[in-house]
Amino acid sequence: MDDKILVTRSSMPPYEEYIEAIKPLWESHWLTNMGRYHRELEEKLREYMGVMELSLMVNGHMALELAIQAFDFPEGAEVITTPFTFVSTTHAIVRNRLQPVFCDVKPDDGTMDENKIEELITERTAAIVPVHVYGNVCNIEAIQEIADKYGLRVIYDAAHAFGVKYKGHGIGSYGDASVFSFHATKVYNTIEGGAVAFSEHRIYEKLYNLKNFGIRGEEIVTEVGANAKMNEFAAIMGLCNLNHIEKAFANRKIKYEYYRNEFSYMQGIRLFDEKKEATRNYAYFPILIEETYGRTRNEIYSFLRENNIYARKYFYPLTSDQVCFKNKYKNAELGNARKLANEVLVIPIYEELEMENAHNIVELIKKAGKKG
C-alpha cells in the first residue's frame, strides 16, 4: 500500500453544508460564550443521547476534570479507576488533587472488574471512575450496587461510547455523570469538544460556573472557574455531523462485521466479548494477539507500519506505569490489565475506510502470523 492508512479518520459533513451553516457567524460575530449554536447543540444532544441534563465543553478532558470537580470531593480523597485507559482519565483525577486507586480489568472486555472494587474501598474512597473502553459497557448494575452500599459517586468515562445504548437507555443516563469526548478522532466529533451528561440540575449550574470563570453576570463572579466553553464553529460542526451520525455508524458497521467475521477464526487472535444488551457504535476494532499467533503484538505492529498501516497499541503502557504516575499511587494486582496492554492492537476502522483496504489489512495480519 502506498498511502498511509491511519487507525482512524475524522468523519466530516459535506463541505458545502458546513460552509453554509457557518455563514451566519460573519453576520453576528458571535463566535463563543455559549452562543446560539452552542445552545442548539446542547439541546439536540440531550435529546439524541436520551439524558436529562448535558453540558458542552471545549474537550473531553476538561469535561471529565470539571465533572469530577463539580462533586466537591475532599482533597486527597481516593478514586477507584482503571489503568487500562487513555492517560486523560488519570490526569483528571490527579489534577483535582485526588488519589487514583487502580483496579484490575476483566480479560473478556477490558472494563473494570467489578469483583475487585470492594477490596479497594477505604474510609477515604469518594468515587468510582470506570471506563466504557472501546465502547464496551461496564457492569453498570454491579458498580452501582457497590456505590450505593458505600455511599460513593460513579462518574463514567464514556469517551468511547457516544451513541451506545444499554437496555434501551442512552449510556449517559447511568451513574452520577458520564463524560464524552467529541475529539476529531472519535466516531462523532465537533472538531474538539466534549460533554458531561447527568441528572441533577444543580450539577448543570456548577458546571456552567466551572467552564465560564464562575461568571454569572456582567459584574458578578460567584466562584473560581476555568475556561472550558465550546466555540460556535465547533458547535456547528457538531450539528452538521449529528445530521449524518446514523450513516457514519452504518458505514463503520460494515467494516466492523467484516473484521469480526475474519478474525473470529484466525488462530492466535482473540476478540473482546460483546454485551448482548448493549448496542455498539463501531468506534474501534481491537484485536488481542496471543502466543499461539506466532508473532508478538509489537512485531505485528511494526510489520503493519512497514506496509503503511498505522495501528495503535491502545493502551500501552498502562497509565499506572507511566513515568508521571508510576510508584506514586496504590496499586492492586493488575495482571489482567498488563496482559491486555501487551496484547491489544487497535486496527484501522473509520467511515470512509475502503473495503479493499480493510481486506488488505486482514491479509497482512494473516501473512504475518504465517511468517511467525
- Per residue in 138-167, pLDDT (tens digit) is 999 999 999 999 999 999 999 999 999 999
Helix spans in the chain (H): 15-28, 36-49, 60-70, 88-94, 140-150, 201-211, 232-243, 245-263, 297-306, 335-343, 355-371
Q: Residue 163 and residue 171: Cα distance in Å, rounded?
A: 8
Instruction: Report pLDDT digits (tens) over 270-302.
Output: 999 999 999 999 999 999 999 999 999 999 999
Contact 266, 212 (CB under 8 A): no
Contact 126, 98 (CB under 8 A): yes
Dihedral sign, Cα of residue 253, residue 183, residue 174, residue 35: negative
Instruction: Report pLDDT digits (tens) over 58-108.
Output: 999 999 999 999 999 999 999 999 999 999 999 999 999 999 999 999 999
The yes-or-no verdict on residue 372 having pLDDT over 60 is no
> Which residues, including other chains, have CB under 8 Å from residue 224's CB and lie 6 or more apart?
214
Cell numbers found for residue 63: 469535561
Cell numbers found for residue 56: 458542552
Report which secondary-structure segment, H or E, holds 55.
strand 53-57
Q: Which CATH class is domain 245-371?
A: alpha beta
Q: Which CATH class is domain 15-243?
A: alpha beta
Residues 317-350 as b or e (16 or more Cβ within 10 Å = b): ebbbbeeebeeebebbebebbbebbbbbbbbbbb
CA Rg value for the chain: 21
The yes-or-no verdict on residue 2 having pLDDT over 80 is no
Q: Say how many C-beta atoms besides its own lie within 10 A of residue 58's C-beta.
A: 22
327 pLDDT band, cuts 50/70/90, is confident
Q: Residue 340 and residue 274: Cα distance in Å, rounded?
A: 16
| Mean pLDDT for the stretch of residues 310-321 | 97
For 274-309, give the DSSP string: --TTB------EEEEE-GGGSS-HHHHHHHHHHTTE
Instruction: Report pLDDT digits (tens) over 209-230.
Output: 999 999 999 999 999 999 999 9
Domain limits, the chain:
15-243, 245-371
Contact 255, 358 (CB under 8 A): yes
Q: What is the mean pLDDT of the chain?
A: 96
